[in-house]
Amino acid sequence: MAASAAARAEKLRALINYHNYCYHTLDEAEISDAEFDALVKELQQIEAAHPELVTADSPTLRVGATRLSAFKSVRHSAALLSLDNAFSPDAVRVWYERVARRFSADAKIKIVAEPKIDGLSIALRYEHGNLTLGATRGDGYEGEDVTANLRTLKSIPLRIPLTTPTQPPPFAKNANRGGASTPSPAKRGRAGVEVQIPETLIVRGEVYFPKDKFAELNRQLQANGQKTYANPRNTAAGSVRQLDPRLTAARPLRFFAYQIMEQQAGLVTRAQWDALEYLRALGFPVNPDSQLCDSLDDAIAYSERWFKTREQLNYEADGMVLKVNDFAMHEELGAVGKAPRWAIAFKQASQVGVTKLQRIEVNVGRTGVVTPFAVLEPLPIGGVVVSLATLHNADYISDNDIREGDTVRVKRAGEVIPQVLGPVLELRPEDSKPFKFPRRCPTCGEKLERREGEAGTYCVNSACPAQLVRQLEHFASRGAMDIAGLGEQMSALLVDKGFVGDVADIYALHMKRAQLLELEGFAEKRVDNLLNAIEASKSRALSRLIYALGIRHVGGTVSELLTEHFDSLEALAKASEDDLNGIRGLGPVIVDALREYFKQPRAQQLVKKLVKYDVQTKQHGRATRSDGKLAGKTFVITGTLPTMSREQMTALIKQHGGKVTDSVTKKTDFLVVGENAGSKLDKAKSLGVETLSEDELKTMV
């Protein structure tokens, strides 16, 4: 028994590690989540029955070991060097000249260009293929032992080389996690090739927080009224430096390997590009945006092309690392101080210019938030003429003591809006006075307000024309009602001429066709195109309509979520606090925003008008759901279900027209109960809510 259990455990470990690799490193899952969970569960059961079979590389240990009281410091066996910077192609050329001088004129110097990931630098030590130590870089000589935390990152192999399961997994045929039905030979080749590894191998790389996941985390925190994080880099570093590894495990951190410690690198490869290939073959994630370049010019051209795409990448990077490819050349070049001569970080100089701030104005947004901006004497920064720059909010102006008439430093980075950094005090005019933030809305004249705990200043007059213009623009935008021809200018014009008093009024515009035609520049064709586009927008999906209203904190995802629980705008407008609180994924901030919005008589009026004008305010295209066996019923799930995950159960219920909420209330029809159910079961009993097992629910549908 024990022998077969051992064999099965080993097989399961290989399978789980392999599928982790497919999912977390290659981003191409081969099996479904449920199938994957089943493998982990089976291994956990074997390990529970035979603790002696638990190995150091067991993937079951990735959930996070027990809490530490402090990190041990570890001395790196060789210093982890850092890089010198070059802020222009010319500076890169100066670096290269110094490199080239060491070699004969006809020596071919290839360059590897690798994005410089902005995360936390770590070193992983593998002994006989097993991960034995993971440490932060620290000061380059001494770092912290964060092995237990790094083990929780699924893109870090616990054992190398990552072996391919010898037989295809039994469920490979009906796999659906990534769409592929059988593992592709190329992938197997990459993950499972025969590779030699030295007794000890130290791999350097960077742990980072993917940008999309970071945005998601902050959205959630904000919705729950919690403090948000400043940037992905610090959040990644903070997540790795948690004494409780379970906290690290809860974060979607990723890893890129980029270097084999020099003294060992020579044992297995002869050049940086080969080292990256080798790391990839061992099962490490290697940045796909790296490139082997034949010449320095190629490397500079490649970097500059990449700089332009940087904003769209899912990782933060603060430049391109250029590395001489050949390791023999590295030996020859050596290091100066803490930086090797064979590499340089090529960064874009942050683009800062100095100009005169003529005046400060404010802009009223669709939610009434008042944003100050600087009107500047135009100046070119990085090839673009900048004449406006943001000043964020009232505190930013006072904290940085920015005044009208000041000479200011202005920064433009990538695609983001230019911002005023601060004044050049030496050049401040003698008669200068601190800026007084307006007390009244520049458009409607109403008093401006500041809410407690918020940096923003608001115009709270919901009839403010400036807000209406922005609301209209948003209402008509692509992701909302998608009305071509109703952009910023048209919105302003319609508000200015008194054609609309709220967004619903656009649906009555056809009655004013004659008046529209009298406006300058409004030919028949233009007017009819606009009216047709408005008419066509009446049948947009409910989620778009909800989003189009521009309720604070209610973006596209939240709108989608809301349509899963309300099948009309009228129902949403009437929702009670309890109804909203019961929805999983809606934090208190969103609930408050929805309540506050629909509390306004103006909003209730708007809903009525939309209905009156025949705008589609009901959910459509969900026939299967409202006809479903569970239609109209509300479910809550609690405890661990025997075979299904909560997500799967939720999907099953929704598929049959039921609703799933988070907490048991009088309105709950059924509580689906699994093992170790807690207080929800007690509450259901006390309220007389019927309970169901997984099997019973399945029978119902």
Which residues here bind ligand IVH, judged by CB under 6 A? 81-83, 114, 116-117, 121, 137, 206, 258-259, 321, 340, 343
Nearest to 626 by CA among 658, 598, 604: 658
Work out how close the CB of 120 gets to ligand IVH at its nearest, in angstroms, rounded to a whole number.
7
Rounded to whole angstroms, what are the CA distances from 276 to 109, 620, 664?
A: 18, 51, 53
> What contacts 85, CB < 8 A, 6 or more positions away?
319, 344, 345, 347
Q: What pairing do the DSSP bridges indicate for beta strands 291-293 and 659-660? A: unpaired
Rounded to whole angstroms, what are the CA distances from 613 to 506, 559, 608?
A: 10, 22, 9
Q: Tokens representing 453?
A: 């705990």
Closest CB to ligand IVH among residues 83, 99: 83
> Which value, in Å, is the radius of gyration of the alpha carbons in the chain?
30
Q: What's the rounded Cα separation, in Å, for the pair 289 and 275? A: 15
Q: Tokens representing 448?
A: 């401006």
Cα atoms in the 13 Å half-sphere on the side-chain side of 43: 25
Q: Tokens representing 31?
A: 């099996």
Q: Is 497 a catalytic residue?
A: no
Work out how close the CB of 98 gets to ligand IVH at its nearest, in angstroms, rounded to a whole number.
16
Which helix (H) or strand (E) segment holds residue 127: the answer is: strand 120-127
Closest CB to ligand IVH among residues 117, 364: 117
Closest CB to ligand IVH among residues 83, 503: 83
Alpha-helical regions (H) of 156-288: 185-192, 211-223, 232-240, 245-249, 262-268, 272-282
Closest CB to ligand IVH among residues 138, 198: 138
Which helix (H) or strand (E) segment holds residue 291: the answer is: strand 291-293
Closest CB to ligand IVH among residues 83, 476: 83
Closest CB to ligand IVH among residues 121, 235: 121
Alpha-helical regions (H) of 537-629: 542-548, 556-565, 569-574, 577-581, 588-599, 601-612, 623-627
Work out how close the CB of 118 gets to ligand IVH at its nearest, in angstroms, rounded to a whole number.
7
| Contact criterion met (CB below 8 Å) for 619 and 564 | no
Work out how close the CB of 343 gets to ligand IVH at its nearest, in angstroms, rounded to a whole number.
5
Work out how close the CB of 233 gets to ligand IVH at its nearest, in angstroms, rounded to a whole number.
10
Closest CB to ligand IVH among residues 209, 670: 209
Query: Closest-CB residue for ligand IVH?
Result: 121
Work out how close the CB of 316 gets to ligand IVH at its nearest, in angstroms, rounded to a whole number.
10
> What contacts 269, CB < 8 A, 6 or more positions away?
260, 275, 277, 278, 327
Core vs surface per residue 234-272: b (16+ CB within 10 A) or e:
ebbbebbebeebebbbebebbbbbbbbbbebbeebbebb
Strand partners, 145: 135
Nearest to 73 by CA among 150, 144, 121: 144
Closest CB to ligand IVH among residues 31, 257: 257
Work out how close the CB of 107 gets to ligand IVH at its nearest, in angstroms, rounded to a whole number.
21
Among 72, 110, 116, 629, which one carries the catalytic annotation?
A: 116
Rounded to whole angstroms, what are the CA distances from 401 to 389, 453, 481?
A: 16, 21, 42
CB count within 10 Å of CB 433 equals 9
Closest CB to ligand IVH among residues 343, 660: 343
The catalytic site residues sit at: 116
